[in-house]
Amino acid sequence: MVAHDEEADALLEEFELREEVKVRDDRTPPSVCCTCGWRWITSLIVVALLSAIGIVVALYGPSSSPPGDDTIGHLGYRLHPEDHVTRPPTTQYFNWTIAAGIRSPDGVEKRVYLVNNEFPGPLIEARSGDRIVIHVHNGLQDEGISLHWHGLRMKSQNSMDGAVGFTQCPITPGTNFTYNFTIGTEEQGTFWWHSHSDVQRADGLWGGLVVHSPNEVDVPPEEYLLMIGDWFHRNQTEVLGWYADASSRGNEPVPDSLLVNGQGRFNCSMAVPARPVACSQVHLRHLKPLIMSGGQRKVRLRVVNTGSVAGLSLRIDGAIIRPLRVDGGFAVKAEATETVGVLYPGERVDLEVEWKEEYAGDRWLTVYMDDENFGYPNPALNPTQSFPIFSSSMKGSSNEAVPQPLGQNEIQVLDSQNVKAATKVSDLPAKAEQTILLYAKVEKLAHMDYAPVGFINHTSWTPQTPPLLAQNRTSWDENQLVPFIGISDSKPKRVDIVINNLDDGAHPFHLHGNSFYVLSSYRNPGRGSWGSYNPYTGEAPPNGLNLEFPVRKDTPDLAAVRSQEPHCPKLPAFSSWNNTQQIAFQPELPFLAFIAIFLVAPSFSATSLDPRDIPIQEALRTCQANRESYTHMGFPGAWKQTMSETPEPTRQASAAPEAPAATRAPAAEAVPAAATTESAASPPAATSGPILDPQHWAQVNEEQAQAEAEGAGDDNADADSTLDPDNASSTASITSSILEYRTIHGRTYHSEQGNAQYWASNDEQQNDLMDLTHHILTLGLGDKLHLAPLKEEKLHQAIDIGTGTGIWAIDFADQYPGAEIIGTDLSPIQPSWVPPNVQFEIEDCTREWTFKSDFADYIHVRWLMGSVRDWDAFFSEAYRVCKPGAWIESHEASCNVSSDDGTVAPNSAMGHWGEFFKEGGKKIGTSFSVVEDGTQRKAMEKAGFINIQEFDFRNPVGTWPTDPVEKRMGGYSKYGLETDSEGFILFMAHTLGWTREEILVYIAQFRREIRSGKHHGYFAQKVVWGQKPETTAA
């Protein structure tokens, strides 16, 4: 039997009742209706009374995990650990409807989010091992929602984490979603839940989550939850719109007020006329006391900072405060004090409050808002506010507390220097097996209209659809910064994370799915000072590393993780503005360098996701079903499925590895220094002869397209298609995509200055490939940034000529933090946020250099072929600028695609690639035969350099090599040439008089040959380094 729909049953029942009444009306005299009327009136009165009671319960009654009837008399949420620590684990069910309504939390009317008509949202009180099932209905009209359970690790339950773009899509309006997860048996402490979609959290979509430990011995007689945070009177969408505009100059919005458990007291007379508000003054008598006056000597306060931007410090009159636990119940040892802080957004702390018996005055909780991120004054804000602890403090308005000024030295600072773990940590490996170095900064860039956007290692995160957890790793787009962590099969591994906050303000960071040990944190003195720390120098940070008693956190001044499952951890900035403006992270970094560690279990892997995982598939189906709504809700283009499958290398410094392998340098020994003689092998002869005309390539294209259509292609036709499936197979589709996407219009080049002409585009497409090329060439050098024998203690000034995007200079600066690096180029395409020992200058290296004589200890030159007309003059200037004993290193490439087995035929498109550059070079008066002619060594010798050495290696095109490193290099090169061949060859072909259509036809054939896998081509690379002679004593 098919079950009836409940709504249909109700309608049927109503219809039957009406029919029954109608029959009675037909049979009963009108006089009887008087009795019926009284019955109906009585029923209506009863219904009205019940409805009134229901409304009162909804507005003032207990939350999801009832705090108890006594909460009606005070503002703090009274907790009941005695109801949870002795019972066995159970399943708790909740039904939440999320909507919006007008409320006046501090006297000012504002649209806020409501859960079952409550603001703030319900409190969940549980114990370790409890299963939580929450049926969520999105009752909003035009907003998606998601809920995150802040601090819970969600072991094997990643799809329940609520992170939009990572583990789920938003719950679209009018739809339902069930969060079903089990709290870990080892998890206990103060958590909270909040929206993880857009900026809804800052408009009140949050609530408390407290997990009691069943092993708790010292259960406090009184325990309360205080959720304290800054508050804006404007809707957060409006606030974000202001901040995201260039006119904000990157200054984070300053809040208007402060709330404790959703209530506050705003002084209506302080409202700014430019932002009028509907305000009803809240008087002291309207406030409830924070806690009951139970006569207990001690009480425990669990405090959560639910704010958006401001850190908080707390002081209680007549009491001593001792921090007990931080974040997810991690026990700490700290000194007792009268003031504790700073607690940043997302952080939690459990405080033991001991009342001073001799204190005779009223007891108040004073909250001090930290102004570190307040870039401008807000006259409406009172940054220091007091709340009565007991009802005795509220006898009259004349008793209202006058907050005392707070000196910086009065605060018990909750950082790694003042707070230690309560017990010694014995399972930390002595050394890290992997180090991840990160730089975080909010930038205002010209190509983004100077709007503030958050970056981490050149990456600005944007959510991807479907969420990352539901996708194959190779489908993650270029906005995902994903450092790869290799997995050991036998034991956990230690991974150090170093975050350098280059901003002039603090950023809290939060790591989803894990917690971590905070080993060290420090800030440079002075507001706005940079605190970059380079872990690759072997030097300890200024405050040292705490490996014995490190504090464990999930939202702090940085991150360390013990991961026990395959999952997709997210590290977002927790400030509402940074999180929305694409900083994907979350520890508290007040201009500091921060070190934390992951302990990664053998099962940890971001790529080992099981496609059969039902919650993952459910999340994927939800995204697919809600595609139209999702795109409508502010995510245009979210369903564009054209991401490259080539993993972008993580942009981070790395320790100097071993020398390049001999298989990658057939003309040299395994150690580059061995290739020091005049007779170092030269690259093979390249294809020569006049360049074939455009009609030839048009005919070849037509013939090959016909052969492919007849099935004449071989098994290798789609070799390496995993690098980019959208570019595989069809020549017609390749050509059409080129004509549609790749055009000459809009491509930019370096401006011509003097004799300087550079043949490659300098737009965003080519800049991305320039960074990829840096990675390729670094691999070719055995993961080294240089081959010259530099001594760190003698390296003070270095110059990078033709720095491009500056990526080599930045990596070099990370490796040598004691040296100052200057990168020069013709175009200002370098980032403005860099390590403090890097700067970039616009300079034409073909003219007289502006550096003084004997200035540099090292000069690095890379890929200037075709740009320098007089190499003798170039190296003569370098010799002048070098100090005695300094080194110069020149890295150049052949423009010819060569092969050792004859698979690159002279009349092939790959064989003719170099002809464009050689013939075009003749037209503009430069040479692209620097490698073939031995120009580097000859010009260095003529300038006076000595101890000249050479190292040759090849850069394959395609994954045909058997050597694993060369295979990786070839895969990246293939991807780069397929992605933007035009950016490399367009200028030179145009110089030779080729039309746009003719160039694209040639490129189509060139791409076909690269993709076929039958042509084992490579570009010869040559590195030459030499030394300026040391001066002799007089």
In a domain, 327, yes or no: yes
Residues 956 and 988 in one domain: yes
Residues 563 and 477 in one domain: yes
Residues 405 and 440 in one domain: no
Give the span between the Cα atoms of 159 and 482, in whole angstroms.
19
Residues 394 and 470 in one domain: no
Residue range 632-645: mean pLDDT, rounded? 28
The DSSP code sequence of 876-936 is: HHHHHHEEEEEEEEEEEE-SS-B-SSS-S-TTSHHHHHHHHHHHHHHHHT--S-TTTTTHH
pLDDT top residue among 611 and 774: 774
Give the span between the Cα atoms of 961 and 959, in whole angstroms.
6
Residue range 206-228: mean pLDDT, rounded? 89
Domain boundary among 632, 657, 678: 632
Domain boundary among 589, 609, 632: 632
CATH at residue 790: 3.40.50.150
Residues 469 and 374 in one domain: no
Q: Is the pLDDT of residue 800 over 90?
A: yes
Q: Which residue has the tokens 């993961």?
A: 783
Q: Is the pLDDT of residue 180 over 50?
A: yes
Residues 194 and 252 in one domain: yes
Q: Is the pLDDT of residue 923 over 90?
A: no
Q: How many residues in the chain?
A: 1034
Domain boundary among 414, 442, 466: 414
Residues 121 and 203 in one domain: yes
Give the span between the Cα atoms of 673 and 166, in whole angstroms.
47
In this structure, of 509-518, 618-627, 808-817, the range with the lowest mean pLDDT score is: 618-627
DSSP H or E segment with residue 456 = strand 452-456
Q: Domain range for residue 319?
A: 69-130+183-414
Domain count along the chain:
3
Kindly tell me the burial class for residue 375, based on how many C-beta atoms sit within 10 Å of its own C-beta (0-12, 13-18, 19 or more): middle
Kindly tell me the burial class for residue 1030, based on how many C-beta atoms sit within 10 Å of its own C-beta (0-12, 13-18, 19 or more): exposed
Bridge partners, residue 473, by sequence: none
Residues 690 and 602 in one domain: no
Residues 605 and 542 in one domain: yes
Determine the pLDDT at residue 798.
97
In a domain, 550, yes or no: yes
In this structure, of 548-562, 601-615, 635-649, 792-806, the range with the lowest mean pLDDT score is: 635-649
Residues 470 and 591 in one domain: yes
Q: Is the pLDDT of residue 591 over 80?
A: no
Give the span between the Cα atoms of 829 and 221, in whole angstroms.
62
Residue range 332-340: mean pLDDT, rounded? 85
In a domain, 922, yes or no: yes
Q: Is the pLDDT of residue 11 over 50?
A: no
b/e map of 934-954 (b: 16 or more CB within 10 Å)? bbbbebbeebebeebbbbbbb
Q: Is the pLDDT of residue 954 over 90?
A: yes
In a domain, 359, yes or no: yes
In a domain, 36, yes or no: no
Residue range 266-275: mean pLDDT, rounded? 90
Q: Select the highest-mean-pLDDT range: 43-57, 494-508, 598-612.
A: 494-508
Q: Is the pLDDT of residue 84 over 70?
A: yes
CATH at residue 200: 2.60.40.420
Residue range 331-349: mean pLDDT, rounded? 86
State percent of the chain over pLDDT 90.
28
Residue range 146-159: mean pLDDT, rounded? 87
Render pLDDT for 291-313 as a digit per residue (tens, 0 to 9): 876 667 889 999 999 998 888 98
Determine the pLDDT at residue 72.
44
In a domain, 281, yes or no: yes
Residues 592 and 727 in one domain: no
37 pLDDT band (50/70/90 cuts)?
very low
Task: Say what the pTM is.
Answer: 0.55
In a domain, 500, yes or no: yes
In a domain, 915, yes or no: yes
Render pLDDT for 349-364 as a digit per residue (tens, 0 to 9): 999 999 888 887 788 8
Residues 366 and 476 in one domain: no
